Chains A and B, each alone.
Chain A
Amino acid sequence: MDFPYGKAPLSILILALLSGAVLMAVAAMSREEGKPDLVFATFVKEQAEAYKPAIEQFEKDNHVKIQVQVVSQQALNDRLQASLQAGADVPDMVELLYGTMGTFTKGPLADVGFADLTDRVKQEGLDQRLVSSRFVMWSSRGHIFALPHDVHPVMLVYRRDLVEQLGIDVNKLTTWDEFCRVGRDIVTKDLDGDGVPDRYMLDLPSDGSDSLRLLLLQRGVSVFNSKGEVTFDDERAVDVVCWYVRQTQGPKKISVTCGWGQTLSRAMIDGRCLFYICPDWRTMQIQADIPSLSGKLAVMPLPAWEPGGLRTSTWGGCGLAITKQCKNPDLAWKLAMYLYYDPNQLGKRFKATNILPPLKEAWSQPEISEPRAFYSGQAIGKLYAALAPQVPTEIITAHNAAAVGRLSEAFTNSCLYYQDHGDDGLRDYVRSELKRCADKMREIIARNRFLNPQADGAKLQTSLNDEHGSIREAASGQMREGDVQ
């Protein structure tokens, strides 16, 4: 009989049946594996691989089974947020990207889907043994919801070969002023005479983004203060934004945008810029992506904003949270301690990832002070560790994403102003823009009735699942809001 829908749909039908049968057969064959005791989800593939030997050891020692899931960051965040809210199955332990914790803590404390780790941290003395500022980005209202994986101090990586050729002494580049002075000489040197600068001094994204934020942090300006209020309309922020605008726009700029991934690799190989902002995690990326630059790179501390000032900042981070649904929180805590803060693991791990652990006692591991041939024989671990204790504190609240957006808006408008008017009135314009955007942010923050329950006497309703907990927590959360570290 003729298939009434035509030939092509018939073939699609056959395809559906065939692939369905194959998938069912595969599913039937692999139904053997037992249920794991813990499920551990992360978004960083390299980290999952680096954990593998440690996790195998842990499984053997404790006679348990651990599953490690690698999920894309966006997917992890979307699913986790949705699942935590809907009460669906979630992993027992989750690694989170910095900046995302805020989205999980924007409601009443009782609604946070992660276990409160404050007491456990105090018991183990972790607040003393770690770079303590790193707990802040994983806390809300004084409660710690995740363990910091890293410190991520920031340095500059530079093309040592080219810098030496040009006769630059990096030891003299101690302030950004000096750095820009030297930079302007480099940029104006046009060797092949085609009117286009051959080399730029620094890789700075012209849209601000993370680089602007880390330079602000270096200057002592955080997007939020410890009370969760917006503070980026500070006079020092005006300085930094003006500086950033001048270095990335117009004829006197010393920087250019080199982008990410292969584009960045290309630029580094070409020597398009001499210096690149480089937190510890980036050193491994460079090493893996551009093996041909081995021995031609070196790192140095950031130039300071004023003589004797802070010579580092921080960029990025990752934290480990234990979900409330976890059936075996003690085992999860044990695994967390073993993975994150066992000095014997951390030396090896540093060698594999170049990420400096926040645990101070681990910095004496031999692998940290090993010289690296790729970085011209520098012991980069030691150099990063030397800066780690001074890393500025970054405060992240529920409104982080929105605030960063507003900051970037102020920055972009400043760039447009500079393109049209030059230096004329730039400072005043930047100041008013930062103020306008910060005020807008304050308005948004004031709207959040979970964090400001008495904002206008709104009636708090909670769902059927937990009738009274949220109300009480929301009210007490308001009181505790003042004592974030």
Chain B
Amino acid sequence: MTSVPTMSASTETTATSRASFEHGGGGWKLRTKAAPYLFLLPYFVVAAVFFVYPLAYAKKLAFYQTNGPRSRIYVGLDNFKYILTDSDFHLALWNTTFFTICSIFLQLPLSLGLAMLLNTRRGRLKAIFRLAIFAPNLVGQVFVGILFSMLFTPRYGVFNRLLQELIGWGIEQQWLTNPSLVMPAVVIAALWMYVGFNMIYFLAALQNVDQSLIEAARIDGAGPWQLFLNVTIPAIAPVATFVVVTSTIGSFQLFELPYALLQQFNSNRGFGPKNSGMTVVGYLFQQGFVSGDLGMAAAVGWLITIIILIVSLIQIRISSKVGSHK
């Protein structure tokens, strides 16, 4: 955990502040000692009531089969056993993994590419492009879901029509009713929505790259590709780590987008044909709120949490290794 950005900067801070206290009065010391706790008090209260307590409650629930808070039956590890052998959960895991892989290996490189395109010193049009690319983030996931469910309509949807115009294929593609096209449709909608957000992070990082380093490398005769590999990449590595980790966590929590995209026409149908758009959080929602078994939902929640924790730990470990190599 300690390898997370900036956690090491603390020791010096305290050394200086302690030194200065020695010639201060006793009253200060006391106030300064209590201050951080007072500053954090709102967090403690909110976290205790709306996070720790529900979490403890959810942990207990995971071992019960419930019908709302009124009745429950202790089932031991049965919920976990069921989930781990349920083909829907496997599908949800696979879909979520697919989505995560797409967002890391498709969306993030695209974001980085766009950020590099935008990262010029000249250019008055920059602000306009930036706005255009960021604009989808102004719209919520639910809106994007419904919007794209209309754009993906076979024959009449704008997406299908443009595809037909551009590459002469796709006017009758049933993006939302063909099980093998559902996840690609979700990825496309998510790509449209999030590529701009991550681009902003990369842009921020690129603008912070030391220009003198680039100049020096240029003078040494480095080509654009070498420049990118040896100067830019190491310089933005911390940002990239941050973006990869947050995108992974975000991808694992994907829910509202496929829900709105696929749920519009029939409340019974769930996540598209054959549940082909099911994600792990969608699975949780279905178990907990559609079928009403909060115990099952709690069990799924714990599994998701464990998976995310492991994956982000691995990512942080890998990126810190890569970082120390350089």
Q: How near does chain B come to A248, taking the closest CB pair, in angstroms? A: 10
Q: Which residue of A lies closest to B263 (CB)?
A: A74
User: What is the CA–CA distance of A400 and B270 in the complex, to the nearest angstrom?
Assistant: 12
**Contact (Cβ within 8 A) B267 A97:** yes
Hey, which chain A residues are within 8 Å of B269, CB to CB? 209, 404-405, 408
Q: Which residue of B lies closest to A210 (CB)?
A: B266
**Contact (Cβ within 8 A) B273 A107:** no
User: What is the CA–CA distance of A97 and B68 in the complex, to the nearest angstrom?
Assistant: 20
Q: Which residue of B lies closest to A398 (CB)?
A: B291
**Contact (Cβ within 8 A) B67 A107:** yes
Hey, which chain A residues are within 8 Å of B143, CB to CB? none
Q: Enumerate B245-279 residues with CB–CB distance to A below 8 Å.
A: 263, 265-270, 273-276
The 0/1 profile, CB within 8 Å of B marked 1, for residues 446-470 of chain A is 0111100000001111110110001
Assess whether B153 is interfacial by the CB under 8 Å rule.
yes
Contact of B69 among A447, A450, A463, A474 (CB under 8 A): A463
User: What is the CA–CA distance of A106 and B179 in the complex, to the nearest angstrom?
Assistant: 30
Hey, which chain B residues are within 8 Å of A402, CB to CB? 291
User: What is the CA–CA distance of A84 and B274 in the complex, to the nearest angstrom?
Assistant: 30
**Contact (Cβ within 8 A) B82 A447:** yes
Hey, which chain B residues are within 8 Å of A100, CB to CB? 267
Q: Which residue of B lies closest to A409 (CB)?
A: B274
The 0/1 profile, CB within 8 Å of B marked 1, for residues 86-114 of chain A is 10000000000101100100111001000
Hey, which chain A residues are within 8 Å of B290, CB to CB? 103, 401
User: What is the CA–CA distance of A463 and B72 in the complex, to the nearest angstrom?
Assistant: 7
Assess whether B71 is interfacial by the CB under 8 Å rule.
yes
Q: Enumerate A284-327 residues with CB–CB distance to B below 8 Å.
A: none
Q: A209-B266, A401-B268 are contacts. A462–B274 as well, Cβ < 8 Å?
A: no
Hey, which chain B residues are within 8 Å of A447, CB to CB? 65, 78, 82
Hey, which chain B residues are within 8 Å of A459, CB to CB? 73-74
Q: How large is the interface on B (under 10, 10 to 19, 20 to 34, 35 or more residues)?
A: 35 or more
Q: How many of chain A's residues have a CB under 8 angstroms from any CB in B?
A: 53
**Contact (Cβ within 8 A) A86 B69:** yes
Q: Enumerate B6-48 residues with CB–CB distance to A below 8 Å.
A: none
**Contact (Cβ within 8 A) A99 B289:** no
Q: A99-B268, A206-B174, A259-B153 are contacts. A111–B73 as well, Cβ < 8 Å?
A: no
**Contact (Cβ within 8 A) A461 B74:** yes
**Contact (Cβ within 8 A) A458 B73:** yes
Hey, which chain A residues are within 8 Å of B312, CB to CB? none
Q: Which residue of A lies closest to B287 (CB)?
A: A402
**Contact (Cβ within 8 A) A106 B70:** no
Hey, which chain B residues are within 8 Å of A440, CB to CB? 87
**Contact (Cβ within 8 A) A106 B291:** yes
Question: Main secondary structure on chain A at its contact with chain B?
Answer: helix
Assess whether B177 is interfacial by the CB under 8 Å rule.
yes
**Contact (Cβ within 8 A) A458 B71:** no
Q: Which residue of A lies closest to B273 (CB)?
A: A207
Hey, which chain B residues are within 8 Å of A416, CB to CB? 179
Q: A206-B174, A450-B73 are contacts. A86–B273 as well, Cβ < 8 Å?
A: no
Q: Which residue of A lies closest to B76 (CB)?
A: A458
Q: A81-B292, A447-B82 are contacts. A108–B74 as well, Cβ < 8 Å?
A: no
**Contact (Cβ within 8 A) A74 B67:** no
Q: How near does chain B come to A308, taking the closest CB pair, in angstroms? A: 32
Q: Enumerate B73-95 residues with CB–CB distance to A below 8 Å.
A: 73-75, 78, 82, 87
Hey, which chain A residues are within 8 Å of B177, CB to CB? 205-207, 257
**Contact (Cβ within 8 A) B156 A263:** yes
Assess whether B154 is interfacial by the CB under 8 Å rule.
yes
**Contact (Cβ within 8 A) A470 B268:** no
User: What is the CA–CA distance of A209 and B269 in the complex, to the nearest angstrom?
Assistant: 7
User: What is the CA–CA distance of A401 and B88 in the complex, to the nearest angstrom?
Assistant: 14
Please give me the 6 A-B residue pairs with the lowest Cβ-Cβ distance, nearest first.
Answer: A85-B68, A107-B67, A207-B177, A207-B273, A412-B274, A409-B274
Chain B residues at the A interface, C-beta cutoff of 8 Å: 64-65, 67-75, 78, 82, 87, 153-154, 156, 174, 177, 179, 263, 265-270, 273-276, 289-292
Chain A residues at the B interface, C-beta cutoff of 8 Å: 73-74, 77-78, 81-82, 84-86, 97, 99-100, 103, 106-108, 111, 205-210, 257, 259-260, 263, 266, 400-402, 404-405, 408-409, 412-413, 416, 440, 447-450, 458-463, 465-466, 470, 474
Show 29 residue pairs from A and B whose CB-CB distance is below 8 angstroms, ordered by the A residue: A78-B289, A81-B292, A85-B69, A106-B292, A111-B67, A205-B177, A206-B174, A207-B273, A210-B266, A257-B174, A257-B177, A259-B153, A259-B154, A263-B153, A401-B268, A401-B291, A405-B269, A408-B274, A412-B274, A413-B274, A448-B65, A449-B65, A450-B67, A458-B74, A461-B64, A461-B71, A461-B73, A462-B71, A474-B71
* Known A209-B269, A461-B73; further 16 A-B contacts with Cβ < 8 A: A85-B69, A100-B267, A106-B67, A107-B68, A111-B67, A111-B71, A206-B177, A257-B174, A259-B265, A266-B156, A404-B268, A447-B78, A458-B73, A461-B64, A462-B70, A462-B72
